[in-house]
Amino acid sequence: MSQSNRISGGQIDRKTSLQFTFDGRSYVGHAGDTLASALLANGVRLMGRSFKYHRPRGPLSSGSEEPNALVHLRTGARQEPNTRATVAELFDGLHATSQNAWPSLKFDAMSINDKLNSFLTAGFYYKTFMWPAAFWEKVYEPIIRRAAGLGALTKDEDPDEYDKGFIHCDLLIIGAGPAGLMAALMAGRAGARVVLADEDFRMGGRLNAETFEVGGVAGADWASAVVAELAATPNVRLMNRTTIVGAFDHGIYSAVERVSDHLSVPAAGKPRQTLWRIYSKRAILAGGATERPIAFENNDRPGVMLAGALRAYANRWGVAVGDRVAMFTNNDDGLRTARDLLAKGVDVAAVIDSRQGGDLLPGIRHLQGAQVIDSSGRLGLKSVTVRLADGKTETISCTALGVSGGWNPNVNITSHHRSRPEWRDDIAAFVPGTGGPAGLSSAGAASGAMSTHGALATGQAQALAALADLGFAAKADELPRAEDTPIVISPLWFVHEGKGRAWIDQQNDVTVKDVKLAHQENFIAVEHLKRYTTLGMATDQGKTGNVLGIAIMAELTGQSIPATGTTIYRPPYTPVAMGALAGRSRGKDFKPFRLTPSHQWAAEQGAIFVEVGNWLRTQWVPKAGETTWRQSVDREVLATRRSIGICDVTTLGKIDIQGTDAGAFLDKVYANTFSTLAVGKCRYGLMLREDGIVFDDGTTARMGTHEFVMTTTTANAVTVFRHLEYCRQVLWPDMDVQIISTTEAWAQFSVAGPNARSLLQKIVDQDISDAAFPYMGAGNITIGGLRGRLFRISFSGELAYEIAVPTRYGDAMIRKLMAAGAEFDAIVYGTEALGVMRIEKGHVAGGELNGQSTALNMGLGKMVSKKKDSIGMVLSQREGMNRDEGYRLVGVRPVDPTGSISAGSHFMEIGAPVDLASDGGWLTSKVYSPHLGCDIALGYLKAGDQKIGRKMRAVNFLTKTDTLVEIVSPHFFDPQGERLRG
Amino acid sequence: MIINHPILGPRDAQEFVYLGDANLMGRPDGMTAGIEAFHDYLYNRDNPAGAHRELWYHEQGDRSWLVVTRNTVTHEILKVEMARDVARAGGRSK
A259 and A359 in a single domain? The answer is no
Give pLDDT tens digits for A156-190: 999 999 999 999 999 999 999 999 999 999 999 99
More confident residue, A147 or A689: A689
Contacts of A278 (CB under 8 A, 6+ apart): A166, A167, A168, A169, A172, A195, A197, A244, A252, A253, A254, A255
Residues 6+ apart with CB under 8 A from A441: A282, A283, A284, A285, A447, A462, A465, A466
For residues A598 and A815, what is the distance between their CA atoms, to the nearest angstrom?
9
Any CB–CB contact under 8 A between A733 and chain B? yes
Task: Assess whether pLDDT exceeds 90 at residue A974.
Answer: no
Q: Determine contact: A874 vs chain B, CB below 8 A.
A: yes
pLDDT score for A976: 86
Q: Which residues, listed in sequence order, are joined to residue A319 by a DSSP beta bridge? A: A6
Would you say A73 and A94 are in contact if contact means Cβ atoms under 8 Å apart? yes
Hey, are the CB atoms on B57 and A722 less than 8 Å from each other?
Answer: yes
- Between residues 47 and 86 of chain B, which touch chain A (CB distance below 8 Å)? 55, 57, 59, 63-65, 74-77, 82-84
C-alpha dist (Å) from residue A858 to A670, A862, A872, A888, A924: 16, 10, 15, 6, 12
Assess whether A443 and A553 both reside in one domain. no
- Distance, in Å, from the CA atom of B49 to the CA atom of B73, rounded to the nearest integer, reads 6
Would you tell me how many other CB atoms lie within 10 Å of the CB of residue A134?
8
Long-range contacts of A919-928 (CB under 8 A, 24+ apart): A920/A952, A921/A887, A923/A892, A923/A954, A924/A847, A924/A848, A924/A850, A925/A835, A925/A839, A925/A845, A925/A846, A925/A847, A925/A848, A926/A839, A926/A892, A926/A901, A926/A902, A927/A835, A927/A836, A927/A839, A927/A840, A928/A630, A928/A634, A928/A836
Does residue A585 sit within a domain?
no
Domains of chain B: 2-89 (3.30.2270.10)
Q: Quote the strand ranges of A604-693, DSSP E.
A: 608-612, 615-620, 645-648, 653-658, 682-688
A557 within some domain: yes
What's residue A455's pLDDT? 98
* Closest alpha carbon to A677 in A701, A707, A656: A701
Please indicate, yes or no, whether residues A324 and A271 belong to a single structural domain of this protein.
Answer: no
Domain membership flag for residue A76:
yes
Nearest to A878 among B35, B65, B88 (CB): B35
Q: For residue A106, name the pLDDT band (cuts at 50, 70, 90).
A: confident
Length of chain A: 982
pLDDT at A91 over 80: yes
Residues of chain B neighbouring A868 (CB-CB closer than 8 A): 31
C-beta atoms of A249 and B75 within 8 A: yes
Q: Which amino acid is at A425?
A: D
pLDDT of B89 > 80? The answer is: yes
Max Cα distance, chain B (Å): 41
Checking if the pLDDT of A132 tops 70, the result is: no
pLDDT tens string A482-520: 999 999 999 999 999 988 999 999 988 999 999 999 999
Pair A401, A526 in one domain:
yes
Contacts of A80 (CB under 8 A, 6+ apart): A72, A73, A74, A577
Task: For chain B, say whether A869 makes contact (Cβ under 8 Å).
Answer: yes
* CATH code at position A781: 3.30.1360.120
Check residue A104 and give its pLDDT. Answer: 81
CB contact under 8 A, A725 and B34: no
Q: Do A730 and B42 touch (CB under 8 A)?
A: no
Q: What is the pLDDT of residue A140?
A: 62
Angstroms from B93 CA to nearest CA on chain A:
5
Mean pLDDT of A281-289: 98
Evaluate whether residue A975 is within a structural domain.
Answer: no
The least confident of A21-30, A97-106, A265-274, A903-912 is A97-106
A416 to chain B: which residues are within 8 Å by CB? Answer: none
Gap between the Cα atoms of A439 and A417, Å rounded: 12
What's the length of chain B? 94
* Helix orientation angle between A546-557 and A526-533, rounded to the nearest 10 degrees: 120
Q: What is the pLDDT of residue A129?
A: 56
Q: What is the number of domains present in chain A?
A: 6
Contacts of B60 in chain A (CB under 8 A): none
Mode of pairing for the β-strands spanning A273-285 and A162-174:
parallel
Let me know whether A69 and A198 are in one domain: no
Cα A103 from chain centroid (whole Å):
35
pLDDT, one tens digit per residue, over B56-85 is: 999 999 999 999 999 999 999 999 999 999
CATH number at residue A528: 3.50.50.60
Are residues B27 and A731 in contact, defined by beta-carbon separation less than 8 angstroms?
yes
Instruction: Assess if residue A580 is contained within a domain.
Output: no
β-strand pairing of A906-908 with A800-806? unpaired
pLDDT tens per residue, range A904-959: 999 999 999 999 999 999 999 999 999 999 999 999 999 999 999 999 999 999 99
- Cβ–Cβ contacts within 10 Å for residue B12, how many? 16
**A570 within some domain:** no
Q: Identify whether the C-beta of residue A204 lies closer than 8 Å to the C-beta of residue A224.
A: yes
Q: A674 pairs with which residues across the strands? A: none
Helix (H, G, I), strand (E, B) or coil at A341: helix
Kindly write down the DSSP assignment for every residue of A683-728, as one continuous string: EEEEEE-TTSBEEEEEEEEEEETTEEEEEE-STTHHHHHHHHHHII
Q: How deeply is A362 buried, as exposed, middle or buried, from its count of CB atoms within 10 A (0-12, 13-18, 19+)?
A: exposed
Report how far apart the first and last C-alpha atoms of chain B are (Å, whole number).
Answer: 35
Cross-chain residue pair A730–B25, CB shorter than 8 Å: yes
Distance, CA of A831 to CA of A836 (rounded, Å):
9
Spatial contact of A801 and A620, defined as CB atoms under 8 Å apart: no
**Residue that terminates a domain, selected from A155, A175, A198:** A155
Distance CA A108, CA A335 (A): 36
- For A805-852, give the DSSP string: EEGGGHHHHHHHHHHHHGGGT-EE--HHHHHHHHHHHT---TTT-SSS
Same domain flag for A179 and A276: yes
**A866 CB within 8 Å of a chain B CB:** no
Contact residues for A104 (Cβ-Cβ < 8 A; gap 6+) = A23
- Mean pLDDT in residue range A810-839: 97
Residues A121 and A3 in one domain: yes
Domain edge (last residue) among A742, A773, A797: A742
Domain boundary among A125, A155, A185: A155
Determine which helix (DSSP H) or strand (DSSP E) holds A166, and give its type and residue range: strand A162-174
Other Cβ atoms less than 10 A from the Cβ of A537: the count is: 17
- Give A221-226's long-range contacts (Cβ < 8 A, gap of 24+): A222/A480, A223/A176, A223/A178, A223/A181, A226/A181, A226/A182, A226/A184, A226/A185
Are B75 and A250 a contacting pair, CB within 8 Å? yes
Question: A104 exposed, middle or buried (CB, 10 Å; 0-12, 13-18, 19+)?
Answer: exposed
Tell me the CATH number at A688.
Answer: 3.30.70.1400
Q: Are residues A399 and A501 in the same domain?
A: yes
Residues A297 and A372: their CA atoms lie apart, in Å, by 8
A14 touches B at CB < 8 Å: no
CB contact under 8 A, B65 and A730: yes
For the cut 60, the answer to whether the pLDDT of residue A148 exceeds it is no
> b or e along A818-838 (b: 16 or more beta carbons within 10 Å of the residue's beta carbon)?
bebbeebebbbbbbbbbbbbb
Over residues A841-874, the pLDDT tens digits come to 999 988 899 999 999 999 999 999 999 999 999 9
User: What is the C-alpha separation between A798 and A980, in angstroms, rounded?
Assistant: 5
**A720 within 8 A of A687, measured Cβ to Cβ:** yes
Is the separation of the CB atoms in A11 and A202 below 8 Å? yes
Same-domain check for residues A174 and A264: yes
Of A668, A655, A726, the C-alpha closest to B17 is A726
With beta carbons under 8 A apart, name residues in chain A contacting B82: 729
Residue A50 has pLDDT above 90, yes or no: no
Contact between residue A494 and residue A293 where contact means Cβ atoms under 8 Å apart: no
In a domain, A64, yes or no: yes
Q: Tell me: do A637 and A656 sit in the same domain.
A: no
Chain A closest-CA separation from residue B38 CA (Å): 7
Count of other CB atoms within 10 angstroms of residue A411? 27
User: Residues A4, A134: one domain?
Assistant: yes
* Residue A1 confidence class, pLDDT cut points 50, 70, 90: very low
Q: In this structure, what DSSP letter does residue A140 have? A: I
Same domain, A125 and A6: yes
What does the pLDDT average to over A260-272? 96
Residue A118 has pLDDT above 80, yes or no: no
Q: Is A519 on the interface with B (CB under 8 A)?
A: no
* Within a domain: A483: no
Q: List the domain range (segments joined by +) for residue A721.
A: 652-742
Shortest Cα distance from A731 to chain B (angstroms)?
6
Q: Given an 8 Å threshold on Cβ–Cβ distance, is A251 in contact with B2?
A: yes
| DSSP H helices in A31-171 | 35-41, 112-115, 124-128, 133-135, 141-147
Between A250, A874, A875, which is nearest B1 by CB? Answer: A250
Is the Cβ–Cβ distance between A52 and A120 less than 8 Å? Answer: yes
> Is the distance from CB of A319 to CB of A36 less than 8 angstroms?
no
> Which residues, including other chains, have CB under 8 Å from residue A216's CB and lie 6 or more apart?
A480, A481
Average pLDDT, chain A: 94
